[in-house]
Chains A and B, each alone.
Chain A
Amino acid sequence: MESKPLNVHSIESFGTQDGPGIRMVVFLQGCNIRCKYCQNADTISLEGGTLTPIDDLVKRAVNMKPYFKNIGGVTVSGGEPLLQADALIPFFKALNAEGINTNVDTNGTVTTEAAKKIISEVSDLVMFDVKHTTVEGFEALVKARGLKKVIENIELREQSGKPYWLRYVLVPGITDSDESLEWLAQTFGNNKHLDRLEILPFHKLGEHKWEMLGEKYELQDQEENTQENLDRVEAYLSKTFKNLVIK
């Protein structure tokens, strides 16, 4: 049986920011939420992208195997990749069959059976982007509901006993309050299978993409982090999280 193709926005073959080692990052087209700070606004729309057979992507990944060593592999990002979870399952299985490590970079809000299957069993690594720490804050920032689902999905992964990372975009005045940091520490600090927490300081690199799409970039006047702020956050979180990386 022919597997379903994936709707691909673009491919970065030298991914060093999305998981361990050198990774082929496949950015999928389409997202279910709309974060104000989205850096890949052109991947949000469900329209567009290139339908790409899984075999082509596997071949590309196999060509890259010498660069992966035992550390790197393939990361699927987006957009929200778990919107295409059905097609991802055979893709990840094919990669595993070639000895290639898999990783999905998700906002954690998709709860279909296939998405859960990837989270609990199929993907070698999962990176959850935790957008906010309160229901109101979450909904204001990403224009959708779903913090509860994110927490459930992370719990599902934790229960599976497989490794995962959390990522958190630090936006001054929006996501960096002491309460937010405290919540992160309380909620995830004791998780056994959480391997790494990445703090991604907010910056406006994605602004031009919103402009290109003719859409308003709402964080135009948002200030970026001062070094002082980053130091504060690091000092606070490093008490709880052993592997904390401020990018």
Chain B
Amino acid sequence: MSSQGFKSGVWEQEINVRDFVLKNITPYEGDDSFLVGPSAKTQKLWDVCKEALKEERENNGVREIDTKTVSMIASFGAGYIDQENETIVGLQTDKLLKRAMKPYGGFKVVQKAVSEHGLEIDPVVTEAFSKYCKTHNDGVFDAYTDEIRKFRSLGFLTGLPDNYARGRIIGDYRRVALYGINRLIEGKKADLEGITGPMTDHTIRLREEVAEQIRALGEMIKMGAAYGLDLSRPAETGREAVQWTYMAYLAAVKEQDGAAMSLGSVSSFLDIYLKRDIDNGVITEEIAQEYIDQFVMKLRMVRHLRMEAYDQIFAGDPTWVTESIGGMLADGRSKVTQTSFRFLQTLYNLGPSPEPNITILWSDKLPQGFKDYCAKVSIDTSSIQYENDDLMRENRCSDDYGIACCVSFQELGKHIQFFGARTNLAKTLLLALNGGRCENTGTLMVEGIAPLEGDVLDYDAVVANFKIAMKQVARVYNESMNIIHYMHDKYYYEKAQMSLIDTNPRINIAYGIAGLSIVADSLSAIKHAKVTPVRNEEGLTTDFKIEGEFPKYGNDDDRVDFIARDVVEHFNNDLKELRVYKDAEATMSVLTITSNVSYGKKTGATPDGRAAGIPFAPGANPMHGRDTHGAIASLNSVSKINYKDSQDGVSNTFSIVPKSLGATEGERVNNLVFALDGYFGKNAHHLNVNVLNRETLMDAMERPEEYPQLTIRVSGYAVNFVRLSKEQQMEVLTRSFHDKM
């Protein structure tokens, strides 16, 4: 027994949260009947937030900006929503929904964001960042080659984290609660002592990084002290465990504005403290729920300062506070606890919301009561997503992981990721048809691709050219990534997050592709029908004449599904051959975020019959309207993509109208559980679930003020529907809503 009454283990000798969880978790097998509604304090607090959110919407999406302070871990004093009702405290700045400047990712971006809202940055800050401080963005553009710039500006590589922070790294925020910061500092100091000569680049860099981390931990203590909290020691109560964990996360989002700032997997860790306090009669269920409601409320209020253009790749102002819930332990017990339920319950107590990005780690073996509750929450709120825990646990050899950003595995405290945005594979295919030239501008992108002979496209010739194109695109993509992550480490190192991760962790580089369904259908058309390109005077393809039928991705038809599967494998292998900065290991995702719209705009007509400019399907989804055999056939097509070839994740979004899910509420819950068990039983990786009527969305476009909390899952995250642009709303509406009766 530890002094706090926990079961002992190696976690007492070393930093090892997993061991603590393993020894002390109480899996919960029951149903949702123990859950309670929001406390009076929570309701009062949420009313204040709702008012502030309304102001934010009315004020062009931004409530307020601090234009004087460069945001660091401890640069703001304490901020409160309504102190007397706050059980869990802490804001990113000194005021609710006030956004802060984090210019180390790129100063121009901050300038633009501030000026778009009619404000001006304090001259002192402007002077510092134009004269004295260099940023990540400056560094990257110093090193970029002409070739990378060309691939970037013409839309072959898009959304690269070269002018915004890369995010994706998940600090193990639980460490602050379990150990207290003093103990963590001791650990890092010991690590630093052990990093000795010879002084290679690697060693010097690591010593500097660890020294930065130690400094960040010290700042965290100061940040806590501003709120009267002593973070230097371990949390002693359930309330402190929640508070300490949140403070650790808060330090990260004060310092960094990475695209995705995931939380990890904290619910069942916190459950250990809450359960102990409930068992000891110190708190009630109402109080435990209040802590979680207020914690989640705070997570919903996290904001970053973004410029408008950012919205094209990440629509709806997402922050990706991804919290992973559920899953199984390697020893066969489930990780579902009562606090897993309490987290989901926030979607009722506070209403639906895109953030935190709640991700259920699904296993066939999860307790039935939890499965049913998840399905019910999905049906009622469309706010959660699912990932295949069996697949990740077995392939990645860990049962203590979180989801970085949308869909990507990351072992907590042991592992980090370099975010890689994505490449446009549909445009890459067009290089194969245009002698290596961009289909829009005629610019020569890839050398050594012979123009195609004859009028009708020949499958083998196209595939041969496509392989050359993929190899070269992979090379340029890899080069850009190496530059970006070198510079990010140099100018905007994530010292707060990294201080909560083992020194010198394993790294994955997270590459990505967009346009998979278009490539699969295009190649299928070329193979099974007769496709003749229409070319302009420069010889560039502008359209395609298709004669005959061809199988389309999304109908559980191996003839085309295997094309998709093989393209993923091939491109992933091309990427794997290339050496990455810090010897990161290559992984790839099939994921688009919301960039499927902007990617579509930049891509000419494709041989599958898609006209120039039309949006891509999101993630690994089939193109809308082409999956004509119903939802399961569509899911089955996606499930054929092998996880081993896309270990960063295969994103699929499933939208269905409530009635199509079943005749009664009970049947709808059962059928959704069957669908999830079935899909993941086929080794599929990820599923967003929307249960919505199209009419609701149409009405929300007309009367957005009536739907402030209407949430919809897009590719790997969720958004407030009313915060999407008209164009993106239309794209969501034209997607396949499975509605056969």
**A6-25, CB under 8 A of B: which get 1 and which 0?**
00001111111100011010
- Taking the nearest CB of chain B, how far is it from the CB of A208, in angstroms? 14
Bound together, the chains give a CA A177 to CA B319 distance in angstroms of 58
Task: Check if B630 sits within 8 Å of A22, measured CB to CB.
Answer: no
Find residues 264-297 in chain B having any chain A CB closer than 8 Å to their own CB: none
Give the contacting residue for A66; candidates B631, B663, B678; CB below 8 A.
B678
Specify which chain A residues have a CB less than 8 angstroms from the CB of B679 in the assembled complex: 66-67
The answer to whether B674 touches A69 (Cβ under 8 A) is yes
Please determine whether B670 and A21 come into contact, CB atoms closer than 8 angstroms: yes
The answer to whether B729 has its CB under 8 Å from any CB of chain A is no
Are A64 and B632 neighbours in the complex by a CB distance under 8 Å? yes
Among candidates A10, A21, A245, residue contacting B671 with C-beta atoms closer than 8 Å: A21
Tell me if B556 is interfacial: C-beta within 8 Å of chain A: yes
> Do B674 and A67 touch across chains, with their CB atoms under 8 A apart?
yes
Complex formed: what's the CA distance from A25 to B671 in Å? 15
Q: Please report whether the interface of chain A is mostly helix, strand, loop or mixed according to DSSP.
A: mixed
Q: Counting CB contacts under 8 A, is A226 at the interface?
A: no
B741 A17 Cβ-Cβ under 8 A: yes
A72 touches B663 (CB 8 A): no
Encode contact with B along A196-226: 1 for CB under 8 Å, 0 otherwise.
Answer: 0010000001000000000000000000000
Residues 133-191 of A at the B interface (beta carbon under 8 Å): none
Contacts of B735 in A (CB 8 A): none
Within 8 A of B (CB), among A22-48: 22, 24
Asked if A14 and B677 sit within 8 Å, CB to CB, the answer is no
In Å, the complex CA distance between A247 and B630 comes to: 21
Q: Which residues in B have their C-beta under 8 angstroms from that of A66?
A: 677-679, 681-682
A63 within 8 A of B: yes
Our pick among B660, B678, B741 for the contact of A64 (Cβ within 8 Å) is B678
Q: Is the CB of B556 within 8 A of A13?
A: yes
Least CB distance, B544 to chain A, in whole angstroms: 26
User: With an 8 A cutoff between CB atoms, is A60 at the interface?
Assistant: yes
Q: Is A71 an interface residue, CB under 8 A from the partner?
A: yes
**Residue of chain B at shortest CB distance from A22:** B674
Min CB distance A179 to B, Å, is 27
**Closest B residue by C-beta to A198:** B663
Q: What is the count of residue pairs linking A and B with beta-carbon distances less than 8 angstroms?
A: 77
Contact B556 A67 (CB under 8 A): no
Asked if B77 is at the interface (CB within 8 A of a chain A CB), the reply is no
* CA distance in complex: A10, B656 (Å): 19
Contacts of A205 in B (CB 8 A): 741
Chain A residues whose CB sits within 8 angstroms of the CB of B452 once the complex forms: none
Bitwise interface map of B from 638 to 663 toward A, beta carbon under 8 Å scored 1, else 0: 00000000000000000010001111
When distances are taken between beta carbons in the complex, the residues of chain A under 8 Å from B661 are 16
Q: How far is the CA of A16 from the CA of B631 in the complex (A)?
A: 11
A64 touches B636 (CB 8 A): yes
**In the complex, which residues of chain B have a beta carbon less than 8 angstroms from the beta carbon of A21?**
670-671, 674
Q: In the bound complex, what is the Cα–Cα distance between A158 and B9 (angstroms)?
A: 63
For B387-428 the 0/1 string (1 means CB < 8 A from A) is 000000000000000000000000000000000000000000
- Of the candidates B632, B663, B675, which one forms a contact with A24 in the assembled complex, judged by CB atoms under 8 Å apart? B632
Interface readout for B618-647 with A: 1 if CB under 8 Å, 0 if not?
000000000011111110100000000000
Assembled-state Cα–Cα distance A205/B741 (Å):
10
Distance in angstroms from B653 CB to nearest chain A CB is 15
Contact across chains for A63 and B678 when beta carbons are under 8 A apart: no
Contact: A60 with B633, CB < 8 Å? yes
**A63 and B671: CB pair below 8 A?**
no
Tell whether, in the assembled complex, residue A16 and residue B636 are in contact, meaning their CB atoms are under 8 Å apart: no
Q: How distant is the Cα of A17 from the Cα of B682 in the complex, in angstroms? A: 23
Complex: chain B residue closest to A11, CB-CB:
B629
- Decide: B663 and A245 in contact? CB cutoff 8 A: yes
Interface size class of B (residues with CB under 8 A): 20 to 34
Question: Which interface residue of B656, B662, B664, B740 has the most chain A CB atoms within 10 A?
Answer: B740
Contact B738 A14 (CB under 8 A): yes
Do A63 and B556 touch across chains, with their CB atoms under 8 A apart? yes
Docked complex Cα distance between A60 and B681 (Å): 16
Q: How big is chain A's contact interface, by range?
A: 20 to 34
List which A63-79 residues lie within 8 A (CB) of chain B.
63-64, 66-69, 71-72
- Min CB distance A76 to B, Å, is 15
B667 at interface, CB cutoff 8 A: yes
CA distance A69 to B667 in the complex (A): 14
Nearest-neighbor residue (CB-CB) of B627 within chain A: A13
Bound CA span A10–B629, Å: 8
Smallest Cβ-Cβ distance to B631: which chain A residue: A14
| Given A22-B675, A67-B678, A67-B679: A17 and B663 interface contact (C-beta under 8 Å) | yes
Q: Are B633 and A11 in contact (CB under 8 A)?
A: yes
Contact A13 B632 (CB under 8 A): yes
Residues of B within 8 A of A198 (CB): 663
Complex alpha-carbon distance, A1 and B636, angstroms: 31
Given the interface pairs A11-B630, A60-B633, A63-B636, the reply to whether A247 lies near B674 with Cβ below 8 Å is no
Residues of A within 8 Å of B678, CB to CB, are 22, 64, 66-69
CA distance A17 to B636 in the complex (A): 20
A99 to chain B, nearest CB (A): 14
Whether the pair A12, B671 counts as a contact (CB closer than 8 A) is no
By beta carbon, the residue of chain B nearest A66 is B681
Given contacts A66-B681, A66-B682, A245-B663, contact A14 B630 (CB under 8 A): yes
Q: A10: which B residues are within 8 A, CB to CB?
A: 628-629
Question: When the two chains form their complex, are residues B662 and A16 in contact, meaning their CB atoms are under 8 A apart?
Answer: yes
Shortest distance between the CB of A219 and any CB in chain B (Å): 18
Say yes or no: B663 contacts A67, CB within 8 Å: no
Contacts of B630 in A (CB 8 A): 11-15
Q: Bound complex: CA of A146 vs CA of B741, how far in Å?
A: 27
* Interchain CB contact under 8 A, B674 and A60: no
Instruction: Give the one of A11, A12, A66 with max B CB within 10 A.
Output: A66
How far, in whole Å, are A205 and B636 apart by their CA atoms in the complex? 29
CB distance from B16 to the nearest CB of A (A): 36
Which residues does chain B contribute within 8 Å of A24, judged by CB atoms? 632
CB distance from B364 to the nearest CB of A (A): 9
**Residues on A with beta carbons closer than 8 Å to the beta carbon of B556:** 13, 60, 63
A81 to chain B minimum Cβ distance, whole angstroms, is 17
Contact residues of A between 94 and 142, Cβ < 8 Å to B: none
Please judge, given known A-B contacts A66-B682, A67-B679, whether A12 and B674 are in contact too, CB under 8 Å: no
Q: Within the complex, what minimum Cβ distance (angstroms) separates A234 from chain B?
A: 13
Residues from chain A with Cβ under 8 Å of B629 in the complex: 10-13
Q: Which residue of B lies closest to A24 (CB)?
A: B632
- Closest partner residue, chain B, to A247 (CB atom): B663
Candidates B664, B671, B681, B740; contact of A22 at CB < 8 Å: B671
- Chain B minimum-CB-distance residue to A245: B663
Which residues of A lie under 8 Å from residue B681 when comparing CB positions? 66-67
Residue of A nearest to B673 (CB): A69
Residues from chain A with a CB closer than 8 A to the CB of B656 are 14
> 22 pairs across A/B with beta carbons < 8 Å?
A11-B630, A12-B630, A13-B630, A14-B660, A16-B661, A17-B660, A17-B741, A22-B674, A22-B675, A22-B678, A24-B632, A63-B556, A64-B636, A66-B678, A67-B675, A68-B674, A68-B678, A69-B674, A69-B678, A71-B674, A72-B674, A205-B741
User: What 3 pairs across the A-B complex have the smallest Cβ distances?
Assistant: A67-B678, A66-B681, A14-B631
* Additional 15 contacts, C-beta under 8 A, given A16-B661, A17-B660, A22-B675: A12-B629, A12-B740, A13-B633, A15-B630, A21-B670, A64-B632, A64-B678, A66-B682, A67-B675, A67-B677, A67-B678, A67-B679, A68-B678, A69-B678, A71-B674
